[in-house]
Amino acid sequence: MFMATGNRIKHYRQKLGWTLEHLEEVSGVATGSIHALEKRDSKRSMFFQPIARAFGLTVEQLSDIDTDWLDQHQIARATQNKQMM
């Protein structure tokens, strides 16, 4: 099942312990744009691809509410990368 992607962006960002600013750094998408996507729970945006890529996901995985696509390995790697910055 697929839903609006803005809510999923927030879910994955928080799951990884990332701030809006960190997601901006790794995705290249401005903090204000990310915040607006999350707040409006947007369904479409040109920013979904770079944000999904920052999480190591496809846009389809980012939008999928039935599966949590971040496994423990991905979370550990993302956390490690964040600490190195």
pLDDT at 73: 60
> Which residue has tokens 């803005």?
6
Query: Which residue in 16, 19, 13, 15 sits closest to 31, CA to CA?
Result: 19
Is pTM beyond 0.85? Reply is: no
> Which residue has tokens 């995985």?
61
Look at 52 and 77; give whichever has higher pLDDT.
52
Q: Are 60 and 43 in contact (CB under 8 A)?
A: no
Domain boundaries, the chain: 5-84
Query: What CATH number should be reported for the domain whose range is 5-84?
Result: 1.10.260.40
pLDDT in tens, 32-67: 999 999 998 777 789 999 999 999 999 999 988 888
Q: State the DSSP code for 2.
A: B
pLDDT at 43: 72
